[in-house]
Amino acid sequence: MEQLMRTVDMPADQDLTGKNVRRIRVDRRRAGADKINYLRVESVPLNQAVLRQNRVLTGHEPAAARESYQLLRTQVLHRLKENQWNAVGVTSPCAGAGKTLTAINLAISMAKEVAYTVVLVDANLRCPAVLQRLGLAERPGLSEYLTDLIPVEELLVRPYYLEDLVILPAGRPVENSAEMLNSPKMERLVLDLKASADKCVIIFDLPPVLATAETLAFSPQVDAALLVIEDGVTKRQDIARAVDLLSATNIVGTVLNKAGPAIA
Ligand SMILES: Nc1ncnc2c1ncn2[C@@H]1O[C@H](COP(=O)(O)OP(=O)(O)O)[C@@H](O)[C@H]1O
Ligand SMILES: [Mg+2]
């Protein structure tokens, strides 16, 4: 990983323009959640060479790359803990900033080092990318869960060597993803995932904020958003528009991705 990532620590109640961001604590009903049985989840082997090629953390990358994700993990977990949150949406103003890679590596970093169950949900239903980035074949996932009567345990996968990481793939790409992400069934699933283990973090790989309305519409279902900015590419006004659109969402932090090794 010749290009590194820098994390930018942003106060939770301030946006990049220094404006105050309204903090909303969404009331979540935990009682009555259906327990998800992770013991039934299928284990799948991952190809380390493919992971390395796709910049996914394997433990064999340069220490600086691993450490930048560890720093991100520490900062995000700290914010989650202090607010008793456990559902984070990874998004960016525009496509290509590195949301999917950040979501995957953050999930791996959390699952490896901390006693948490981490559920990574590919919620980019139009352009799913998590399985492909992990070198796994396409398989049914969230879109099948939302449209067919398939128990979620049958759709989850667990990478062989990462016991505490569970992945919910996106499934077949769909066009009406905004409706699906905002369906009562999705809302129920988020609540079930959030309550599925004593210590769990749910990470959603979301579509970009400015491209479609779905991320904004889905944002009340996450406790906080992590905003990925592509160094030198994401325009200032796009960052400001994205932060403005997400003004009712807690921003857990900002990742300056694809930044050069020099840390200013
Ligand atoms: N830190 C990084 N360094 C180098 N390349 C990166 C980095 N993060 C992402 N990329 C590359 O940028 C491209 C877009 O990343 P991706 O995670 O798919 O973005 P998004 O999900 O925001 O569309 C991919 O080819 C990915 O390998
Ligand atoms: Mg993506």
Q: Summarize pLDDT for 45-55 with one digit per residue, the tens.
A: 999 999 999 99
Say if ligand 1 is within 6 A of residue 99 CB. Answer: yes
Structure confidence at residue 144 (pLDDT): 96
Average pLDDT, the chain: 87
101 CA → ligand 1 middle, Å? 6
Structure confidence at residue 34 (pLDDT): 61
100 CA → ligand 2 middle, Å? 4
Atom of ligand 1 nearest to the CA of 55: 27
Atom of ligand 1 nearest to the CA of 97: 22
Alpha helices of the chain — where are they, by DSSP H? 48-53, 63-83, 99-113, 130-133, 142-147, 177-181, 184-194, 214-218, 236-245
Domain boundaries, the chain: 4-21+34-259
Q: Binning pLDDT at 50, 70 and 90, where does residue 71 land?
A: very high
9 CA → ligand 2 middle, Å? 22
In the chain, % of residues over pLDDT 70: 85
> 52 — phi, psi (to 5°)?
-60, -45
pLDDT tens digit string along 134-189?
999 999 999 999 999 899 999 999 999 888 999 999 999 998 899 999 999 999 99
Across residues 3-23, what is the average pLDDT? 40
| 29 vs 42: which has the higher pLDDT | 42
Concatenating the DSSP letter of every residue in 52-101 gives HHTT---S-S-HHHHHHHHHHHHHHHHHHHHHT--EEEEE-SSTTSSHHH
CA torsion angle for 30, 35, 36, 37 (degrees, to 10)? 150
Fold of 4-21+34-259: Rossmann fold (3.40.50)
Question: Are residues 57 and 218 in contact, defined by beta-carbon separation less than 8 angstroms?
Answer: no
Say if ligand 1 is within 6 A of residue 79 CB. Answer: no
